[in-house]
Structure 1
Amino acid sequence: MADTSKDHLFLKPGFFSEKASYDYPKPPPQTQPVPAQERGTHAATLREQLTGIRQDIAAAIKLQEDSKSILDKGLIVEFESFEGIGEAFEEKQFGGNSELLNIRYEDKRTFATVFIPDGALQKFEDKITAYSAHKQRSNGVSADNQPLIDSIANFHKATVKALWTDTVAMPQDNTIACWEVWLSARGDRQQQVEGFKSLAKTLGIDVSDSFIEFKERTVLLIRATKEQLEKSILLLNNIAELRKAKTTADFFSELKGNDQKDWQEDLAMRITVLPANENTPFVCILDTGVNGAHPLLKGSITDNDLFTINEAWGKDDRVGHGTGIAGLSLFGDLTAKLENTKLVEITHRLESSKIINRSEFIPNEKDRPLDLYAEYTEQAIYQAEIPHARRKRVFQLAITTIDSWDRGKPSSWSAALDKLAFGNNNIGRLFIVSAGNADVMLKNVKYPEFNMSESIRDPGQAWNVLTVGAFTEKDLLSAAESADHNEITAFHGQISPYTTTSFSWENEWPLKPDVVMEGGNTAKNKFGQAQADSLSLLSTNNKFTEKPFIPM
Structure 2
Amino acid sequence: MVIMALLPHLHAHNIGLASKEFRAVGRGGTKEPSPVENRREHAQKLRSDLELVASQLDDIRKEQASIKVPLKQRGMAIAIESREDEPLFVSATARSTTQGLKLLTLQVNPEKLQQRNQPAHDLANFFVSRDSFKSLLNALGKYEQWTDEDGDFADLLGNEETESSRRPANFKLFESASLIRAANLRDFWTDDIDKFPRKKSQTTWEVWTRLEYEEVFSKTLDALEISGEGRPTQFIETAVRNIVATPEAMQNLIRTSGAVVELRSASSFVSDYMNALPDAQGGIVTELARRVVPAPASAPRIAILDTGVNPANTLLTSSLPRSRCYTVSDDWAVTDHDGHGTKMAGVALFGDLANAGSGTSPIQLSASLESVVVTAPVGGGDVPAHDAIQKAIELVESEEAARVFCLAQTAAGEPEDGRPTSTSAVIDKLAYADGKNTRLICVAVGNVDHSDSEPYQVAEYIERNRRHGIQSPAQALNALSIGAFTNKANGTIPLVAPAGDLSPTSRTSQEWIARAAKKPDIVMEGGNFQIDRGGIFSRASARNLVLTTSRAASASPLAMTGETSAATAAATHLASRLMARYPSFRMETIRGMMVHSAEWTPAMVAQLTDLERSNSVSDPWATLLSRFGWGTPNEERLYSSTESDMTLIVEDSLRPYELGDSDQLRLREMKYFKLPWPTAELRALNQTEVEMRCTLSYFIEPDPNAIARNRYDRYPSHRLKFDLRRFGESDAKAQLRYNALAEDDLSLGATDDGWIAGKRLSGNGTLQHDIWRGPAYRLAERDGISVAPVKGWWSDIRQSERYRRRIRFSLMVSIRVPQGTANIYQPVSVALQNLVTV
Higher relative contact order (CA 8 A, sep 6+): 2
**TM-score normalised by the chain length of structure 1:** 0.49
TM-score, normalisation: structure 2: 0.32
Q: Of the two, which has the highest radius of gyration? A: 1
